[in-house]
Amino acid sequence: MLTMLLDHIDRHNPRINAVVTLDRDNALAQARRLDALGPQTEQPLWGLPVTMKEAWSMKGIRTTGGYPPMADYVPDRDATVVTRMRDAGAILFGKTNVPLLSADSQTYNDIFGRTDNPWNTDRTPGGSSGGSAAAVASGMSPLDIGSDIAGSVRIPAHYCGIYSLKPTERRVPTAGHVPPLPGSPRGVRRFSVAGPLARSVDDLELALRVIAGPDARDVDIPPVPLPGRVESPALNRMRVAYSDQFGHVPVTADTTRVIHDAVDRLAHGGAHVVKAAPDGWTFMEVWELFGFLYWAVVGSALSPEIDAAEAEYAGFTPTSPDAFSRGAARGINVSLRDYGQGMLQRDRLVNALDSFLEDYDVWICPVTATPAIPHIPHMSDVQVGSQTINYFEMGTYYCMPFNLSGHPVVVIPAGFSDDGLPIGLQLVGRRWDEIRLLANARSIDKALDAYRAPPDCL
């Protein structure tokens, strides 16, 4: 299998640029050793060739985060998720591209260049796990471990027509991720998670069981065990809520059509389907609060000079017409009292979503406002119908509520735009209940039957 994947990479990667580092010789040597030993039943990923997002530190393998000052950095220790994948028997044969410090909803950097979408190379695969999604979608890798702080495993899965899981916040350790930079203080204590990208829901669950759990290097990971496998329910036993938009940021007509077609199919299959959203969730409030708390957390690890430079670069001002930018401007120079008030506001929103999900098995939402966008300059506006939306709204508006709340989300393929681009759905579940969410996702995925491989990569 490894040699087949390497041949496939040799054929298709020059066009897509998803896999940016190959550990070919070591991977082939490991495959030969495993073949000689024979299958090891205690290793659930025995012999499976797997790629990892470039942001994960791998001992002895260049790890840059797409950041030019780290172009030659070689870690002396694996990230925790890397260790767990190795211990499960996986053959880690390559690393996949990222934007600069994993901070964009497109994937390009000055070290490795631009990654293209396997469905249409004039389009982005998304970000920041764009190389991960492009590799999995194009058949270069069966599984990749990405990371997500505002949609970074979900946007690429949606743009590339595959599956991904954003676990509950703090379900999976993030020790060894870049950023933060090696030797720097731990920057992001909330919102950031590690999660898999794959070509099936079953493979998401397989990966989650390998990477989840407490870690001595990450003291915030609680010892909450994963339950055994949960059987997927029949549609007529499922209660499904859906939202086709959150207000303020519109979605394309294709996105609306795909969502409506999906929920109609579920309803015809017997599911109880209701258009609904949590009480008290004003999405502009959620958007501004995320900007505030995100930059309060990130800014705590940055110098005042970098804070100011970031704010100027991104256009964050207290009077910005964009709620996220207003929140970020406040968060960069936050007082302890204001941060505490922001966390209380977050608690209220989390409790409202928890209460909402007591009545529904899953909440279906858009992933982004559009299918995969063309490659555009960073911070460019995007047109959706008659409305112009800004860069942050385009990429993360529909994803960031669930980084703010910490709830798990599965993305599955649901259909295609009129010009042949994949469109996915977010399936939001209860906190700490990923296995049941995955079971529900299997039922919905079977009913929709929307996964297709990009034709140029077969």
In terms of Cα–Cα distance, which of 186, 408, 403 is closest to 297? 186
What does the pLDDT read at residue 302?
A: 55
Taking residue 253's Cβ as centre, other Cβ atoms within 10 Å add up to: 12
Q: What is the mean pLDDT of residues 440-454?
A: 98
Distance CA 49, CA 6 (A): 10
Which residues belong to the active site?
Answer: 53, 128, 152
Domain total of the chain: 1
Q: Which residues of 55-81 are buried (b: 16+ CB within 10 A; e: fewer)?
A: bbbbeebbbbbbbeebeeeebeebbbb
- 268 occurs within a structural domain: yes
pLDDT band at 251 (very low <50, low <70, confident <90, very high): very high
| In the predicted structure, residue 312 carries a pLDDT above the cut 80 | no
- 321 occurs within a structural domain: no
In terms of Cα–Cα distance, which of 248, 283, 443 is closest to 353? 283
What does the pLDDT read at residue 452?
A: 98
Task: Output the six-digit token pair for 247.
Answer: 């207000």
- CATH number for 429: 3.90.1300.10
Task: Output the six-digit token pair for 182.
Answer: 């090696």
| In the predicted structure, residue 310 carries a pLDDT above the cut 60 | no
What does the pLDDT read at residue 265?
A: 99
Taking residue 247's Cβ as centre, other Cβ atoms within 10 Å add up to: 11
Q: Which domain holds residue 405?
A: 2-276+360-457
- 346 occurs within a structural domain: no
What does the pLDDT read at residue 19?
A: 99
Distance CA 182, CA 79 (A): 12
For residues 190 and 199, is the Cβ–Cβ distance under 8 A?
no
Q: What tens digit of pLDDT does each residue of 382-439 get? A: 999 999 999 989 999 999 999 999 999 999 999 999 999 999 999 999 999 999 999 9
- 292 occurs within a structural domain: no
Contacting residues for 35 by C-beta, under 8 A, at least 6 apart: 47
Q: What tens digit of pLDDT does each residue of 8-35 get? A: 999 999 999 999 999 999 999 999 999 9
Q: What is the mean pLDDT of residues 117-146?
A: 99
What does the pLDDT read at residue 324?
A: 76
- 300 occurs within a structural domain: no
- 89 occurs within a structural domain: yes
- 140 occurs within a structural domain: yes
What is the residue type of 7? Answer: D
Task: Output the six-digit token pair for 167.
Answer: 């676990």
What does the pLDDT read at residue 306?
A: 46
| In the predicted structure, residue 135 carries a pLDDT above the cut 60 | yes
Q: What tens digit of pLDDT does each residue of 35-90 get? A: 999 888 899 999 999 999 999 999 999 999 999 999 999 999 999 999 999 999 99
Report CA torsion sign: 426, 427, 432, 438. negative
Task: Output the six-digit token pair for 159.
Answer: 């743009």
What does the pLDDT read at residue 386?
A: 92
Q: What tens digit of pLDDT does each residue of 324-374 get? A: 777 777 777 778 899 899 999 999 999 999 999 999 999 999 999 999 999
For residues 408 and 437, is the Cβ–Cβ distance under 8 A?
yes
Q: What is the mean pLDDT of residues 178-184?
A: 81
pLDDT band at 156 (very low <50, low <70, confident <90, very high): very high
| Percent of the chain whose predicted confidence (pLDDT) is above 90 | 83
Task: Output the six-digit token pair for 277.
Answer: 């959203």
- 136 occurs within a structural domain: yes
DSSP string, 174-238: -TTBSSSPTTSPP---SS-EEEEEESSHHHHHHHHHHH-S-BTTBTT----PPP---PPPPGGG-
Q: What tens digit of pLDDT does each residue of 188-234 get? A: 678 999 999 999 999 999 999 999 999 999 888 999 999 999 999 99
pTM of the model: 0.95
